[in-house]
Structure 1
Amino acid sequence: MDDGLFNDPPSDAPAAAYRVLARKYRPSSFADLIGQEPMVRTLENAFDLGRIHQAYLLTGVRGVGKTTTARILARAFNYELPEKGIDKPTIHMDELGAHCQAIIDSRHVDVLEMDAASHTGIDDVREIIDNARYRPVMARTKVYIIDEVHMLSKAAFNGLLKTLEEPPEHVKFIFATTEIDKVPVTVRSRCQRFDLRRIDAGLLAEHLRRICEKEGVEIEAEALAMIARAAEGSVRDSLSLLDQAIAYGSAHSADGAIKADDLRLMLGVADKSRVIDLFEAVMGGDVAKAIALLEDQYNGGADPAQVLLEMAEFTHLATRLKLAPETAQSAALTPEEQRRGGEAAGKLSVPALTRAWQILMKGVDELRGSQRPLQAADMVLVRLAYAADMPTPGDALRQLGYGAPGGGSSSQAPASAPRGAPVAIAASSPAMRAPAARPAVATPAPAAPGVAVASFEALVALAEEKREIRLKIALESDVRLVRFEQGRIEFELAPGGSRELASMLMQKLQLWTNERWMVSIVASGGAPTLKEKREEKAREERSGLEADPVVASVLAHFPGAQIVAVRAKENVRTDAEDAPDVQYDDMSPPEED
């Protein structure tokens, strides 16, 4: 029987497995690293001078090249090129040396990589210490690369200290971590530390463009800028997103090119121009248009929190263009972002921009825990639209009459204003100008003429007139007056009084009189409070009344009775009615035996 009837025909050799871009384009030499020039320069000088440290500590966010740098260092320690007579450590590795390919592929016997996340104990470190005594098998130097070293236990760190400080001459240690604060200072002090920086978005976009050329992929410049911004400075993240974008965009484009619109759907981000439209509508006070724009973007697949974050980024861009335009130029910015960002920077004041940033960032935090993200985002836009019309503290003071004559305007600064003072800039474009539907904001009325306060008693009466009942009670019961004159009050605080009374009284007097008052508390020397004076006067009246023979007889006739109030009777007609109206607690006659 022919086996071919039952067996599958022989197939061709299996195709090579696909290598993701993050592995395919992983740097193999310091010349391939991007964005880490300070570290490369330091290492180049150290190798050229022969001042090679025994331990290196690499730190930075994910995807900036910590493990890659560790492998390049291991290659530099063991670089040999016998045909050219090169047999010493160097970072100038234009060709693959005797050990380079094995180190790049992580299969060299003398370059040992350990993941501290899964090898955290003292036993794992003890194995490293024991093996460190033996010389390398093939290479010049035995290299230990410990990734995520901050996850080692305290005992493991302590066990490593002695070997780390005085390692054998043939051993080098390279540590990598994303959380440098969790690495004990005793370990950090024994290492040469390098902080790998986030990659600039413009530099990252250019790096992605070169990779796309090598891969034969057509992609729009705006799409590259979107990927670079979404990666937040991580090369690995950017290459992973590019891998995903190639797979997504090729399926949705007739010519195979990756469009920015397709990438927005994939990333769930909003169109930048529409985000700027939304920003201009909100800062112009057009709430209805802003809510409609947000809902339109939400229906198109944009995340409301991401939209607010994009608005915050544009606010930051406008602020930088206003204050430091030379630092805000980046290849990752589109021409439209640069143009419209400059327009917003020219029309909005610094206080308005900083207030918008605070409201948007707080709104992003609210949306992350909200069950109704669209509704929550709408309320953030409403809050921002109303806050955009709020005057700055300086403008408010001028409107109240404390600044330039006439109240001042938020669109112009007085001639004497210091350089750099915050001045609101009036909107001139239709997008920034308040339309008819702009939310009404009450403008503070000019301050009325100040009320004169001639005495402390007049101050108490004014507090009662202003319905400041708590302040009135505090003035009567807690203030032992030392000095009262126009613009100045000194008093001793009665026991139990609040020390904040002076500052509160100062604010109220300035508001009521339109003048600045100095209110201070002294240690002693104050007269009795108004309450104490009233109580003393009432005691004197009761004492004089108790000496009256008639009243004394009544009190003797009614044991336990007390005088609780003394009142003058109105409409006196007879001598009998001239006598004080006396009230008693107990008016019942005594019981007979």
Structure 2
Amino acid sequence: MSDSDVDDDTPMLGMDLPEAAPAVAASAGPYRVLARKYRPQTFAELIGQDAMVKTLGNAIARDRLAHAFLMTGVRGVGKTSTARLIAKALNCIGPDGQGGPTIDPCGVCEPCRAITEGRHIDVIEMDAASNTGVDDVREIIEAVRYAAVSARYKIYIIDEVHMLSRNAFNALLKTLEEPPPHVKFLFATTEVNKVPVTVLSRCQRFDLRRITPDMLFAHFSAILQKEGVEAEAPAIWLIAAAAEGSVRDGLSILDQAIAHADLDGGGRIGADQVRAMLGLSDRSAIAQLMAAILEGDSGGAIDLARAQYALGIEPVAMVRGLMDLTHAITLAKVSRHDDPALAEADRERIGDWAQKLGFAPLNRLWQLLLKGHDEVLRANNPLEHLEMLLLRVIYAASLPDPGELAKLLESGGVAAVPLAPAPAAPPDGAEQASAAPEASAATALTVAQIHQLLESAGHHQLARQVYDDVKVVTLEPGVLVFAPSPALGEGFARGLSEALFAATGSRWQARAGEGEARPSLKDIRDARAADDDARIRELPVVKAALAAFPDAELERPGDNRHRTHP
């Protein structure tokens, strides 16, 4: 393969990499990126596209070749390179010059070498992104009438074909439907939905699949071995995951990782280096952040987030890390989590969380993080939005879902989750201001959690109304019925339902209704304060002070309101 090898940087997917490729590259002088250096030259070197190779092989063997092929798939899976391989397969004449079309082109005959080097006169490549008009297509229409100069087929490869204008597509239709027998069209596109159906119906379509991480791992490992570069297995897995099924993207990251290792790692690619290079959050730090969330440690969670931010980790990367960890925990619950890049300690931690957490809390956590991800991504100050998201998630974790709420109300107990601060208890030995039943206490606690959740989510007016004016009539799974009050307004019920759904991912119906209502949180606080004041006034020292100073008033620290008057 000479230095004038194909210009396109779209890689083919090779498992059995050509041994000669490094030697050729070494003698060529200028450095070539891995995506070009290790472009496979036969269908046997492709990985992940077995169905397409089998179909093409059968079509060639049976002499049932279509006149137009369309390759579609995500970026970097080798669409244009596949088109070039098809061109070689159709025009190969074998080492002796007597061969015909074959799924295994020899690579040594003049047509094979010319196509590999991008100089074959009968294989015409066109970039539709820069040749979009009717005039560009008209040149093709005029040229297809003439026979191939030296090849068996005249082949037109049009990359990013979806970029052609509508008029250009219309001009091509007739020729595409009935081309001369010596002409083949090969199209490549990443956005097949933008190609008119009239064109699609005239082509044999191949959907190139994303390459799985294990295939990418094997591919990159083979390349590193040929390059003489050492790498930790977790580092290669991280690169394979970051490639998202694209070989070209993965090879670009691998190129960068090799350069990074040469500078900082003594020639060895480490997982920590790759993670820092890609701006990924540290797994252990994300695990600590998740632990703080699940324990309800709001201060600790914010401190951890700020520490990661100070190290250069973007807030949105932290949210993604939490989402990945939530996804891993959920899959572990159904025994479907298998990440080779994980250390044994991380596996045990995920397994432990999977046993302790139910599907409902995990789904709620996922929904909150998913919604928060977009907010942090678009935020002018991402760190502030991340901190608010963490608080929202922590307080949402303390709000029972409808199923837990049903058990809570039936038993009169409280779920074992981090709770929002409850009103202060009276002094030891003091008699309660109200002998409310346990169910009433559980209801008050749930309403207090709703109040805290609304505050943390920024719904301050709704939170104030819940605290001051919501007097619960009925509290059932997903249903909150409260006594009507002019202070709540007409839109309060709808606003509360929408806010709770946005914050928790669970449907809550809030509405006004008739019936015996429990006191609001404000009423409970005022009743406790009055009871405290009454007991304080009975203390001998206070009685003596009030008797000596008849105009004195009893106040609570930090409260500007006068509680009692003599």
Instruction: Tell me the TM-score normalised to structure 2 length.
Output: 0.69
**Deviation (angstroms), 1:509:** 5.2
The letter of the residue matching 2:409 is: L
Deviates more, 1:256-265 or 1:332-341: 332-341
1:53 aligns with 66
Contact 2:121 2:149 in 1 (8 A): yes
**Aligned CA distance change for structure 1 residues 104 and 439 (closer, same or farther; 3 Å):** farther
Aligned pairs for 1:27-426 (under 5 A) are: 27-83=40-96, 85=98, 87-93=99-105, 95-253=107-265, 255-323=266-334, 325-326=335-336, 328-401=337-410, 406=411
Cα 1:279/1:47, change in 2 over 3 Å: farther
Relative to structure 1, the CA distance from residue 252 to residue 465 in structure 2 (aligned partners, 3 Å threshold; closer, same or farther) is closer
Match of 2:436 in 1: none
Please give the per-residue CA displacement for 1:523-581, whole angstroms capped at 9, x wherever unaligned. xxxxxxxxxxxxxxxxxxxxxxxxxxxxxxxxxxxxxxxxxxxxxxxxxxxxxxxxxxx
1:72 shift after superposition? 1.0
Q: What is the CA distance between 1:407 and its match in structure 2?
A: 5.4
Give the match's secondary structure for 1:99.
helix
Check conservation: 2:483, 2:517, Cα contact below 8 A.
Answer: no
Once the two structures are superposed, what CA deviation does each residue of 1:90-122 show, in whole Å capped at 9, x if it has no partner? 212365443222212222111111000100011
**Secondary structure, aligned partner of 1:108:** coil
Alignment deviations for residues 309-362 of structure 1 (CA, whole Å, 9 cap, x no partner) = 121122112222223x24x32445554444333332222211212222222222
What's 2:23 paired with? none
Q: Which moved more, 1:333-342 or 1:38-47?
A: 333-342
Q: What is the rounded CA distance, in whole Å, between the counterparts of 1:289 and 1:35 in structure 2?
A: 45
- Residue in 1 that maps onto 2:485: 467
- Matched to 1:221, the amino acid is A
Counterparts in 2 of 1:45 and 1:465: CA distance versus 1, 3 Å: closer
CA distance in 2, matches of 1:505, 1:331: 44
Match of 2:533 in 1: none
Aligned pair in 2 of structure 1 residues 37, 338: CA closer, same or farther (>3 Å)? farther
Say if 2:162 and 2:194, in contact at 8 Å, map to a contact too: yes
Measured in 1, the distance between the counterparts of 2:106 and 2:440 equals 72
Offset at 1:128?
A: 0.6
Which residue identity does 2:34 align to in structure 1?
L
Shift of 1:158: 0.2
Counterpart residue identity of residue 203, structure 1: M
Identical positions, percent:
49
| Residue 22 (structure 1) aligned with residue 32 (structure 2) | no
Kept in 2, the 8 Å contact 1:395–1:408? The answer is no
Question: C-alpha separation between the residues in 2 aligned to 1:330 and 1:153?
Answer: 44
Residues 281 and 289 in structure 1, CA contact (< 8 A), matched pair in contact too: yes
- Contact map agreement 1:400 1:445 (CA 8 A) in 2: no
| Alpha-carbon contact 2:94-2:105 (below 8 Å) kept | no
SS at match of 2:124: strand
Counterpart CA distance in 2 for 1:464 and 1:381 is 30
Conserved 8 A contact 2:70-2:203: yes
For this pair of structures, how many residues does the alignment match? 428
Task: Write the distance in 1 (CA, Å) between the matches of 2:198 and 2:216.
Answer: 35
Q: Could you report, residue by residue, the CA deviation over 1:178-201 in whole angstroms, capped at 9, with x for unpaired residues? A: 111111111111111122222222
Which one-letter code corresponds to 1:126 in the other structure?
R
**Paired residues of 1:205 and 1:332 also in contact (CA < 8 A):** no
Tell me the CA shift for residue 217 of structure 1.
Answer: 0.4
3-state secondary structure, aligned to 2:185: strand
1:371 to 1:20, Cα distance in 2 relative to 1, 3 A: same
Compared CA separation, residues 182 and 291, structure 1 to 2 (3 A): same
Cα drift, residue 363 of structure 1: 1.8
Distance 1:137 1:338, change over 3 A: farther
Higher mean C-alpha deviation, range 198-207 or range 135-144: 198-207
Matching residue's letter, 1:271: D
Tell me, what secondary structure is at the counterpart of 1:261?
Answer: helix
Question: Deviation at 1:210?
Answer: 1.1
| Aligned partner of residue 231 in structure 2, secondary structure | coil
Retained in 2: the 8 A contact 1:111–1:145?
Answer: yes
CA-to-partner distance for each residue in 1:24-70, whole Å, 9 max, x for gaps?
01122222222222322332333333322111111112111111111
Task: Give 1:204 shift.
Answer: 1.3
5+ long unaligned stretches in structure 1: 1-12, 411-425, 427-432, 453-462, 473-503, 515-593
CA distance 1:464–1:203, shift in 2 (3 Å) = closer
Structure 1 residues 111 and 439 mapped into 2: Cα distance closer, same or farther (>3 Å)? Answer: farther
AA aligned to 1:172 is: K
Alignment RMSD (CA, Å): 3.3
Asked whether the equivalents of residues 275 and 310 of structure 1 are also in contact (C-alpha less than 8 Å), the reply is yes
Secondary structure of 2:70's counterpart equals strand
The answer to whether the 8 A contact 1:35-1:199 is kept is: yes
The AA in structure 2 aligned to 1:106 is: G
1:109 alignment partner, SS class: coil
Cα distance in 2 for partners of 1:505, 1:358 equals: 19
Aligned partner of residue 385 in structure 1, secondary structure: helix
On the 8 A contact 2:73/2:189 being kept in 1, the answer is: yes
Q: Give me the TM-score of the superposition, normalised by structure 1.
A: 0.66
Query: In structure 1, what is the Cα distance between the partners aligned to 2:109 and 2:394?
Result: 64
How far has the Cα of 1:83 moved from its partner? 2.4
Question: What's the secondary structure of 1:64's corresponding residue?
Answer: coil
Q: Distance in 2 between matches of 1:342 and 1:389?
A: 22
What runs of 5+ residues in structure 2 fail to find an aligned partner?
A: 1-25, 424-438, 445-471, 475-480, 491-507, 519-566
**AA of the residue aligned to 2:196:** P
Structure 2 counterpart of 1:230, which letter?
A: A
Give the conservation status (yes or no) of the 8 Å contact 1:201–1:233. yes
**Alpha-carbon distance between aligned partners in 2 of 1:282 and 1:131, rounded to the nearest angstrom:** 67
SS for the counterpart of 1:176 is strand
1:229 touches 1:332 (CA, 8 Å); kept in 2?
no
CA distance in 2: counterparts of 1:352 and 1:81, whole angstroms: 64
